[in-house]
Chains A and B, each alone.
Chain A
Amino acid sequence: MDKNLDQNLQKELRREAIKRNWLLFKQSKLGMIGLYIVIFFLFLALLQPFLFITGIWNKGVYDPVVGYEAIKDTLLVVECPNEYPTEKYESYTDCPSQGEITVKQLYMAPGVEVGDMYETFIQPAPPSKRHLLGTDSLGRDVFSQIMEGSQVAFILGLLSATLGVGISTILGTIAAFFGGKIDAYLMRQSDLILMLPSLPLLFIISAFAELKVWHLAVVLGVLGGLGGSVITIKSQALQVKVKPFVDSARITGGSNMKILFSHVLPNVAPLALLFMVFSVTGAIASESVLSFLGLLNIDMSWGIMIYLSQTDGFIFSGMRYWWLILPAGLAVTFLAGGFYLVGRGLDDVFNPRLRKR
């Protein structure tokens, strides 16, 4: 009976604490904006499987990797001038402009002359009702690719951040708690990881292992978890270790393990959570950079979308193919920024000195 009451009280207290923290978090405007951004991308990530299962989207058309649809369009056949600028075109990049095609491109189709209307399938098709963000150069739906990319980003970011922070929290607390040789070993180990240049190291790893999303998440998590964050978590744990309640727990006869897990770890946890949110940002950015350089064995992600738009030469064609350039880059930026802002908001909650009042 007594024990039951105690448990109920604890539950109540925990609920109260969560409620209080939520109220504090809500006060930070930027943190809420970040939360909305993250929720928006989570919604996108979950929406795609829903659309496929309910049959609203046909897999053959909307699949982000193998889907295909050609949009039929009629184009005006024109001839590009030899010298620029002319009245119609400012430079050679403007010819042919939207809705036009040059005669030179049609050398395979005899009998077509300047001024004719020519019916063709255009491949990077501009946004329409059927394809909200248009299609890419292979006729795949860009909006569906963005959704697939956000699934990849969430899986990768959350998995690697959880793994990394798990490792670094446990190692950092152990290093602070036991000190001595264990501490020296762990610190030198993180020195070793920090010494390796991160991007070239990932290149080497991708050279002898075919990296899929899961593998990359594990690699990033382990590298992040053994590296610099151990040092930060350790310094936090050192501050907890000298608090009076740890001493009193020891005096009342708590074992090392008991003190470590029920007194030190819970007090390091807020910082660890903060670290996790921030390292999601890093993981998303690393994945995009590696995909951007074409080193990953992933079918579709935001980095690969940018990589394709760069290798196909669309990124230097300006805003004419904006739906190939802007959505992917902005998605990476906004999701990383969203997680960063959530981290800021949590910082306000856990660090009382940052609050307004």
Chain B
Amino acid sequence: MAEYILRRIFQLIIVFFLFLVFSYLLFNAIPGNAFSSLLLNPALPPDAYEKVLETFGLDKPLSERLQLYIVNFFKGDFGYSYKYFPKTPIELIAERLPRTLMLFSIVNIVAFYTGFFIGKVLAWRRGSKAETWITVTSVFSYTVFYPWFALMMLWVFGYKLGWLPIGKFLYPEKWYDAPFDSDVVFTSMIKFTVVISIIQFLAYIASRGIESLSFRRNIRLSSLIVIFIGSYFYWNQGQALIEKPYAADIAYHMILPVMVVTVVAFAGTALLTRTTMMEVLKEDYILTARAKGISQKRIRDRHAARTALLPVVTSFIFTIVTIIDGSVLTEQIFSWPGMGQLLLQSVLEEDIPVAMATFSFVGIFALIAHLLADISYSYLDPRIRIKSQG
């Protein structure tokens, strides 16, 4: 096992190296460079363009630049952004990442819970009219053309009804005399969300072993109430009290994107749960449970749903990996200045240091997740033979 992991890590480093070289060459293959627009300005002296290129080292041949970039990358130096000059890519990512994580962690948690619940019920009520209609709705929201749907929702809620803001993540006029910038608020909001979900998760785990269904439900309900009361007290004391109006502003801007992405994202989980749950319901031990005379709800929740949860959780982990990739379109439509927009802008403006840094950030994230998934698979399922994976 240890040898396998070591070999995998060795391969991982090679793959990452290839990834760096490949993406660097790819960015340089785009015609023009980040400063081409300077040539269009007649007010600039003719040598200004060359001077800028020299400052950023773009006049060197490609092979030398590639070499320099990779050596510096492994030293931990990612260069400076071309467009936001004195800032480094790391600073930019540190500024943008909390915004994306805040938005998409909420979306993923909500989508996972609703999706799993709906999928469970769908498989259980197979053949009923409700099942057909809910399946049709989920397939619609699974395959709906996402940008179109998001724009329609923007039109309905932001424009026609005027309930929710149309874009951006805050009202700038409310932030003129704010004693801190938005990242501080984002960080404390993320902390708050994480603490809440940990408490909820612990309550879920603790109540798992309880036999009586109604008692278990009451415990879970009371944990929710505790969370509500606790969050009320949290937001009314000390630092949080000052941050409260600003956090509320951000939360208000988050409602529409969260709603739209959740509607699109829950369907994937629901349909997957439906399939796995149907497979599980054919197993012999479900028949045994029925023969023992256990109540239907118990069979559904404790015998079938638990087994069906495994592949769903796996796909959930892979969804988390693709958060940044998937945020590109959403952030573009809702003009939410997060990682996705940074990625897209840096690619379109050929801001190579930032684009490389974001690409490698996404890449490292994906590689490590795949490695962990593979290792845990071979650990959990002895049928997957490590030897055959080389």
Interface residues of A (CB under 8 A from B): 29-30, 176, 179-184, 187-188, 191-192, 194-201, 203-204, 207-208, 235, 238, 281, 285, 288-289, 292-293, 302, 306, 310, 315-316, 318, 325, 328-329, 332-333, 336-337, 340-341, 344, 347, 351, 353-354, 356
B359: CB under 8 A from chain A?
yes
Q: Which residues of B contact A316 (CB under 8 A)?
A: 151, 155, 159
Cβ A197 vs Cβ B324 within 8 A: yes
Cβ A192 vs Cβ B23 within 8 A: no
Q: With the chains together, A328 CA to B140 CA distance in Å? A: 15
B31: CB under 8 A from chain A?
yes
Q: With the chains together, A325 CA to B149 CA distance in Å? A: 11
Chain B, 349-369, contact with A by CB distance < 8 Å: what is the 0/1 string?
A: 000000100010011001100
Given the interface contacts A191-B367, A195-B362, A196-B23, does A184 sit within 8 Å of B155 by beta carbon? Answer: no
| Closest B residue to A198 using CB positions | B325
Given the interface contacts A29-B132, A329-B149, does A340 sit within 8 Å of B139 by beta carbon? Answer: yes
Interface of chain A: mostly helix, strand, loop or mixed: helix
Q: A191-B15, A292-B148, A315-B152 are in contact. List 8 more A-B contacts (CB 8 A).
A: A179-B388, A184-B11, A200-B343, A201-B26, A293-B332, A354-B279, A356-B126, A356-B127
Interface residues of B (CB under 8 A from A): 11-12, 14-15, 18-19, 22-23, 26-27, 29-31, 126-127, 132, 135-136, 139-140, 142-149, 151-152, 155, 159-160, 275, 278-279, 282, 324-325, 328-329, 332, 343-344, 347-348, 355, 359, 362-363, 366-367, 370, 384, 387-390
A338 to chain B, nearest CB (A): 9
| Closest A residue to B147 using CB positions | A292
Q: With the chains together, A340 CA to B348 CA distance in Å? A: 33
Cβ B389 vs Cβ A207 within 8 A: no
Q: Which residues of A contact B147 (CB under 8 A)?
A: 288-289, 292, 306
Given the interface contacts A197-B324, A199-B328, A200-B347, does A318 sit within 8 Å of B155 by beta carbon? Answer: yes
Q: With the chains together, A238 CA to B29 CA distance in Å? A: 39
Cβ A204 vs Cβ B132 within 8 A: no
Q: With the chains together, A285 CA to B268 CA distance in Å? A: 15
A138 to chain B, nearest CB (A): 20
Cβ B370 vs Cβ A194 within 8 A: yes
A129 to chain B, nearest CB (A): 28
| Closest B residue to A347 using CB positions | B275
Q: Quick one: which of A192, A200, A325 contacts B22, CB cutoff 8 A?
A: A192
Q: With the chains together, A29 CA to B366 CA distance in Å? A: 38
Cβ A30 vs Cβ B348 within 8 A: no
Q: With the chains together, A329 CA to B18 CA distance in Å? A: 39
B287 to chain A, nearest CB (A): 13
Given the interface contacts A183-B388, A191-B15, A195-B363, does A288 sit within 8 Å of B145 by beta carbon? Answer: yes
Cβ B18 vs Cβ A192 within 8 A: yes
Q: With the chains together, A336 CA to B149 CA distance in Å? A: 14
Cβ A285 vs Cβ B11 within 8 A: no
Cβ A208 vs Cβ B143 within 8 A: no
Q: Quick one: which of B15, B27, B148, B159 contacts A329, CB cutoff 8 A?
A: B148
Given the interface contacts A179-B388, A181-B390, does A203 sit within 8 Å of B126 by beta carbon? Answer: no
| Closest B residue to A182 using CB positions | B390
Q: With the chains together, A75 CA to B114 CA distance in Å? A: 51
Q: Which residues of B contact A293 (CB under 8 A)?
A: 332
Cβ B278 vs Cβ A336 within 8 A: no
Q: Quick one: which of A198, A288, A292, A340 contacts B142, CB cutoff 8 A?
A: A340
| Closest B residue to A339 using CB positions | B143
Cβ B359 vs Cβ A196 within 8 A: yes
A296 to chain B, nearest CB (A): 14
Given the interface contacts A187-B389, A351-B279, A356-B127, does A196 sit within 8 Å of B363 by beta carbon? Answer: yes
Q: With the chains together, A328 CA to B390 CA distance in Å? A: 48
Q: With the chains together, A285 CA to B143 CA distance in Å? A: 8
| Closest B residue to A310 using CB positions | B151
Q: Which residues of A contact B366 (CB under 8 A)?
A: 191, 194-195
Q: Which residues of B contact A199 (CB under 8 A)?
A: 325, 328-329, 344
B323 to chain A, nearest CB (A): 11
Name the 8 nearest CB pairs between A and B, nearest first: A184-B390, A329-B148, A332-B145, A195-B363, A336-B143, A337-B143, A197-B325, A179-B388
The residue among A196, A200, A332 with the most chain B CB atoms within 10 A of its own CB is A200
| Closest A residue to B158 using CB positions | A316
A39 to chain B, nearest CB (A): 17
Could you pull out 6 A-B pairs where Cβ atoms are within 8 angstroms?
A29-B132, A183-B388, A197-B343, A292-B148, A315-B155, A351-B279
| Closest A residue to B22 using CB positions | A192
Cβ A306 vs Cβ B145 within 8 A: yes
The residue among B27, B136, B143, B370 with the most chain A CB atoms within 10 A of its own CB is B143
Q: With the chains together, A14 CA to B372 CA distance in Å? A: 43
B23 to chain A, nearest CB (A): 7
Cβ A179 vs Cβ B127 within 8 A: no
A274 to chain B, nearest CB (A): 12
Q: Which residues of B contact A310 (CB under 8 A)?
A: 151
Q: With the chains together, A57 CA to B355 CA distance in Å? A: 49
A221 to chain B, nearest CB (A): 19
Q: Which residues of B contact A187 (CB under 8 A)?
A: 389-390
Given the interface contacts A181-B390, A195-B363, does A333 sit within 8 Å of B127 by beta carbon? Answer: no
Given the interface contacts A30-B136, A347-B275, does A332 sit within 8 Å of B148 by beta carbon? Answer: yes
Q: Which residues of A contact B149 (CB under 8 A)?
A: 329, 333
Cβ A184 vs Cβ B275 within 8 A: no
Given the interface contacts A197-B362, A340-B143, does A208 sit within 8 Å of B29 by beta carbon? Answer: yes
Q: Quick one: which of A29, A184, A333 contacts B140, CB cutoff 8 A?
A: A333
Q: Which residues of A contact B144 (CB under 8 A)?
A: 333, 337
Q: With the chains together, A53 CA to B323 CA distance in Å? A: 48
